[in-house]
C-alpha cells in the first residue's frame, strides 16, 4: 500500500515537472527552435557585460559574439511583437561597481531557416536581439555593425587585489607581526598594514598594466603581462626590503646593486 502511494506521488510529480518544463520552453502550440546564443559587447572600454540571460537561459559573459551556449526556444515563424526578456549585469571597472538591468526586447524579423540568437548590448544602453546563421562580423549580417572593441578592462582599470604568491605573503606576515608587536593595538596595526599592502599593489597595477591593454596580438600581450608581473614583483620586493633589509633576498639585492655600481665605475675609468 505504501509502495503504491509512493509510486502514484512520483508519477504526479513527474507530470507536474514535465508540464512546467514544456510551458517554460514553448510559445503556446507553436513550433519552436533553439540553436546557440552569443552576446556582443559594444559598451565603452571601462564597461563589460559580465553575464546575461534571455528568457531565463544563461548567456554568460558577452564579448565578440561567440555563440557557445544554448539559446532559449523561439517560434519557427517570426511574428510582429515577438519579445524576449533580457537581464544583464554590467561591471564598471573604472569605478569598481556593478549594476543589473532588464528589459523586454523585440526580436528582429527572421526567416524560417532560423539561426543563432545574437544579443547586442549597444553603447547607448539599449539591447537588440537578432536571429541569423551569419555571425556579427559578416559583411551581410542583418544586425548592427557597431564597433566591437577588444577589451582588457582588468588591465586598463586593475582592481584592488592581492597578486603576491604564498612565500611573499608569509614574509610580509612575519614583517608585519614584528613591526606591530609593540603597537598599542596590535590587531589594528596588522589590519592597517595589510590594507596598505593591497593599496600599494593597486598603485603598481595601475602603473604597469594599462600598457598591456592596448596590445592586440596574443604573444605580445602575454609578454607584456609577464614583464608587468616582474615589475610589480620588483616593486613589492623593494618595499619589503625597506621594512626588513636583513632578509636574504634584500642582502643579495643590495650586493647585486653594488656590483652593478662597481662595474659602471670601472667602465667609466
| Mean pLDDT lowest among 71-75, 138-142, 145-149, 221-225 | 145-149
The 10s digit of each residue's pLDDT in 47-91 is 999 999 999 999 999 988 777 899 999 999 999 999 999 999 999
In this predicted structure, the answer to whether residue 116 has a pLDDT above a threshold of 90 is: yes
The 10s digit of each residue's pLDDT in 151-201 is 888 899 998 899 999 999 999 999 999 999 999 999 999 999 999 999 999
Q: What is the pTM of this model?
A: 0.69
Q: How far is CA 53 from CA 26, 60, 118, in A?
A: 17, 8, 12
| Cα–Cα distance for residue pair 134/121, rounded to 1 Å | 18
In this predicted structure, the answer to whether residue 258 has a pLDDT above a threshold of 50 is: no
| Torsion angle of C-alpha atoms 100, 105, 111, 112, degrees rounded to 10 | 80
Q: What are phi and psi of 119, to 5 degrees?
A: -115, 110
191 versus 45: which is more confidently predicted? Answer: 191
Q: Residue 77, Cβ neighbours under 10 Å: how many? A: 13
Q: Calculate mean pLDDT across residues 255-267.
A: 47
- Residue 252's pLDDT is 67
Amino acid at each position: 500500500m505504501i509502495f503504491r502511494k509512493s509510486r502514484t506521488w512520483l508519477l504526479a510529480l513527474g507530470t507536474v515537472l514535465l508540464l512546467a518544463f514544456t510551458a517554460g520552453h514553448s510559445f503556446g502550440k507553436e513550433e519552436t527552435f533553439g540553436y546557440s546564443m552569443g552576446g556582443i559587447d559594444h559598451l565603452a572600454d571601462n564597461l563589460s557585460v559580465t553575464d546575461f540571460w534571455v528568457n531565463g537561459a544563461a548567456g554568460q559573459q558577452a564579448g565578440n559574439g561567440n555563440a557557445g551556449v544554448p539559446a532559449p526556444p523561439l517560434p519557427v515563424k517570426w511574428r510582429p511583437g515577438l519579445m524576449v526578456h533580457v537581464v544583464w549585469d554590467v561591471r564598471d571597472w573604472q569605478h569598481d561597481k556593478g549594476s543589473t538591468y532588464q528589459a523586454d526586447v523585440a526580436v528582429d524579423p527572421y526567416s524560417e531557416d532560423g539561426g543563432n540568437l545574437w544579443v547586442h548590448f549597444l553603447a547607448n544602453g539599449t539591447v537588440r536581439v537578432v536571429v541569423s546563421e551569419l555571425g556579427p562580423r559578416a559583411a551581410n549580417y542583418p544586425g548592427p555593425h557597431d564597433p566591437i572593441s577588444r577589451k582588457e578592462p582588468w588591465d586598463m582599470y586593475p582592481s584592488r587585489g592581492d597578486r603576491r604568491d604564498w612565500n611573499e605573503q608569509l614574509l610580509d606576515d612575519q614583517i608585519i607581526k614584528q613591526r606591530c608587536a609593540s603597537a598599542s593595538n596590535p590587531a589594528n596595526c596588522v589590519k592597517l598594514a595589510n590594507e596598505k599592502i593591497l593599496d600599494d599593489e593597486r598603485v603598481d597595477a595601475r602603473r604597469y598594466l594599462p600598457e598591456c591593454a592596448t596590445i592586440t596580438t596574443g604573444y605580445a600581450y602575454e609578454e607584456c603581462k609577464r614583464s608587468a608581473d616582474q615589475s610589480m614583483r620588483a616593486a613589492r620586493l623593494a618595499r619589503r626590503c625597506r621594512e626588513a633589509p636583513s632578509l636574504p633576498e634584500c642582502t643579495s639585492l643590495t650586493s647585486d646593486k653594488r656590483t652593478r655600481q662597481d662595474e659602471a665605475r670601472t667602465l667609466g675609468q
